[in-house]
Amino acid sequence: MKNQQRPVPRAHGDGSSILLHSIFPTIQGEGPFTGVPATFVRLAGCNLQCPLCDTEYTEGATKVSPWQIIDRANAHNLGLIVITGGEPFRQPLGLLIRGLLDAGFIVQIETNGKLPPNLYDHLWDDPLFTVVVSPKTARIDPTVARRAKAFKYVVKAGDTDLDGFPKQALDLPIPKGTTLYQPSAAYTGSIYVQPADEQLDVRNQMNLDAAIFLVTEKHRHNDRRFILGVQTHKIAGLP
């Protein structure tokens, strides 16, 4: 079933009120912290509507304070916090992230990178703060592009260019004559590639084969940034 959750505009304010979908303990299954126990803070609402998005981020959302989120994170007693959505940068998160870092947590944000983040500037240089970008559009915010610690792409078989790179992400159309955003050659961080989950075994195997092809071809051309990911949390049966 295709994602029916409508896109919502960017929220404004001082960050003292945050629209939250859910908080839960799990294992981070993607990106640089794969395999690490984490508390997921899923924020409500997204600025995009990707047809193949398999995440519920709308129903049951409630407004809470950053301190309520920090209290619940403390109760889980796990060192890694993953702020996801929806789209986290749709909301001002400076107070929340500063509070989590002050409480001793490692903080990772997962973003589509399209919106300019409303953050305190000093947060970008904190070694415990990591931004992972999963582009869904042809362009992303330049600050996010410059500050990203890792990129992540979802590959769907039959929707790749000759190099094996995805033409679009999660079936979200992009303007004709453009391509899905790719980091520049100067970017030296990791680029994670994972197969799209279409909830059909045959299609998922084809998508996995496409992801393997892309990573392998990049390494054959001496681009060592590319790493295969397989959504470890789903294999483990976790949310």
**Model confidence pLDDT, tens digit, residues 78-110:** 999 999 999 999 999 999 999 999 999 999 999
| Bridge partners of residue 153, in order along the sequence | 193
**Torsion angle of C-alpha atoms 54, 145, 126, 87, degrees rounded to 10:** -30
Distance CA 81, CA 73 (A): 8
pLDDT(1) > 80: no
Average pLDDT in the chain:
95
162-191 tens-digit pLDDT: 889 999 999 999 999 999 999 999 999 999
**CATH code for the part of the protein at 18-235:** 3.20.20.70
Read off the pLDDT of each residue in 120-137 and give the average, rounded to a whole number: 96
pLDDT at 62: 97
